[in-house]
Structure 1
Amino acid sequence: MDHSLDDGYAEAAARKRAAGESGMPKTVRAKLGLAAGLVLAALVVTVGAAQARVSAPVVAKERQELIDRIDRETAAADKLEDTVDKLRAEVSARQRRALRHSGGDSRADLVGVLAGAVDVHGPGVKLVVDDAKEAGSGGGDGPRGTSGFSDTGRVRDRDMQRVVNGLWQSGAEAVSINGQRLTALSAIRAAGDAILVDNRPLVPPYTVLAVGDGNELSTRFQDSPDGLYLDALRDNYGIRASISVESDLRLPAAPSVIVRTAQPSTEKDTS
């Protein structure tokens, strides 16, 4: 009992003290370090929560101000668009009266219809094209094998281009997409996942109205290469499409019809 501690333990403890090491066990040191880390983490979280609570009303106020500004600008844009539509209709009516007074005939009305300068109505077909129910990544086979698009279940701009061109070739006299009248100068392009018609973004489903001989137009389009292309998209990628014959369709005039090369003639007709 006089020498219960081995001399070797006493020497090892002395060496640790001489090297400045603590005699505290490693498990105790680990627990103290973990406790200190937890206290520091709790302090950081508490400070962050306090700052978020202070800044939350400011963020909410700024967000609401942005929403209110968007609503005001949207209402102003809608009002201006309505004014433009009224002025365009008035200009079109004055043009028709001037043509009649100057000896214009029915050919002027036909030109206006074909150019999209006047609103039209009549029989035709209604074609609705929509994305697949579960649009997702597809393989590289089929009519879109070299398109470069990974999401093959979405309707693309070139799909709508083929649909519209197929309707024109099948005998359509006037065509619109989601209320946007198409002319010889119209462009169907893409901006990301959105389809633009004359720089106006459209959202699916895409409703295409085409005025013409309804039954013949429907048959000719479905038998055309573009109609078969649409069938291939439906069969291979699940893109939804339906066509129906309508007795009376109403298409608005094009937003703007710009004459690029024609100029009024100053010479009198002597014939």
Structure 2
Amino acid sequence: MSLLTNVMEHSLDEGYAEAARTRGAYGSSRMPTTLRGRLLLALGLALPALVLTVGAVQVRASAPVAAKERQALIQRVDTETANADQVQQEVRRLQAQIADLGRQPTGGGGASQLGQLGLVTGTVDAYGPGLKVVLDDSTAAGTDGGTNPRTAAGFGDTGRVRDRDVQLVVNALWQSGAEGVAINGQRLTSLSAIRAAGDAILVDNRPLVLPYTVLAIGGGGLESGFTQNVYGGIYLSRLHQDYAIRYSITAQDRVDLPAAARSGLLYAVPTGRGGATP
């Protein structure tokens, strides 16, 4: 204990203390004693205080400005949101008006012709007897359970259904007399595209999820025509034999097809000079 007490009471080595006494600096204050030194010290202390004071005043002065700008931005966002809602309501109103006009009868059998054109172009809902074709990857492909092809790997595996396979099946349905076709609930039109993007099969830029269900409306000869088509039932049979790709073809008493999503069309109009402009 005496050693600890001595260390605490005499923290400075005696040699250092003796040297400080010799210089006359031991126990002396380091504060400036001259007037110039005191003025410099006061100036050094006042300068940071002045900087802090000016900064606080500027922050306090700019706070109302920032609050006003923030409030103006909020009001602008609210105004634009209200405008967008009004435009959306107007779009829905016009769409309903177009639908009403399409349902109005026209003379000379125009209503019947309009309905037929709507069925062919896919712009209206359709139902009737038809065919259901389901395509699925082979079991070895490891995509059972409805795996999204966008997140699955190994699209190059021969046991995977490819966009080309879906294209051939759809074309075979059209050739066999189909009047309307949909894939996984997406109605096909003359402008529809079936393609691949990475590991995904896209229909009109929308990815499909396994299994691929193709529904088609057609007459009584649709099933036999498709099964005997070289790119229909024959092609699917070869895929199953060579790559174990699974499929099924089932006749349906009723098939419901939704209307296709509307897409922007360009119409040609006469220019008066024998030509046309888009």
Task: State the TM-score bracket (shorter-chain normalisation).
Answer: 0.5 to 0.7
Instruction: Tell me how far apart the structure 2 counterparts of residues 111 and 262 of structure 1 sit (CA, whole Å).
Output: 19
1:263 deviates by 5.3
Q: Does 1:196 align with 2:231?
A: no
In structure 2, the residue matched to 1:219 is: 224
CA contact (8 A) 2:131 2:252 kept: yes
1:104 deviates by 2.2
CA contact (8 A) 1:166 1:226 kept: yes
Percent of paired sites with the same residue: 54
Instruction: For residue 105 of structure 1, give the secondary structure of its aligned residue in structure 2.
Output: helix
Instruction: Tell me how far apart the structure 1 counterparts of residues 123 and 101 of structure 2 sit (CA, whole Å).
Output: 11
The Cα offsets for residues 198-219 of structure 1, whole Å up to 9 and x where unpaired, read as: 0001111000000011x41111
In structure 1, the residue matched to 2:165 is: 159
The Cα offsets for residues 3-62 of structure 1, whole Å up to 9 and x where unpaired, read as: xxxxxxxxxxxxxxxxxxxxxxxxxxxxxxxxxxxxxxxxxxxxxxxxxxxxxxxxxxxx
1:162 deviates by 0.3
Shift >6 Å, 4+ stretches:
85-89
User: TM-score normalised to the size of structure 1?
Assistant: 0.57
Amino acid of the residue matched to residue 116 of structure 1?
Answer: G
The Cα offsets for residues 68-115 of structure 1, whole Å up to 9 and x where unpaired, read as: xxxxxxxxxxxxxxx9x9779735522313563797231111001100
Q: Which runs of 5+ in 1 are unaligned?
A: 1-82, 137-148, 265-271
Q: Does 1:236 align with 2:242?
A: yes
| Length, aligned pairs only | 171
In structure 1, the residue matched to 2:193 is: 187
Amino acid of the residue matched to residue 242 of structure 1?
Answer: S
1:192 deviates by 1.1
CA contact (8 A) 1:116 1:257 kept: no
Q: Does 1:254 align with 2:245?
A: no
Instruction: For residue 113 of structure 2, give the secondary structure of its aligned residue in structure 1.
Output: helix
User: TM-score normalised to the size of structure 2?
Assistant: 0.55
Instruction: Tell me how far apart the structure 2 counterparts of residues 107 and 199 of structure 1 sit (CA, whole Å).
Output: 31
RMSD: 3.0
Instruction: Tell me how far apart the structure 2 counterparts of residues 102 and 262 of structure 1 sit (CA, whole Å).
Output: 25
CA contact (8 A) 2:104 2:111 kept: no
Moved more, 204-213 or 127-136: 127-136
In structure 2, the residue matched to 1:119 is: 125
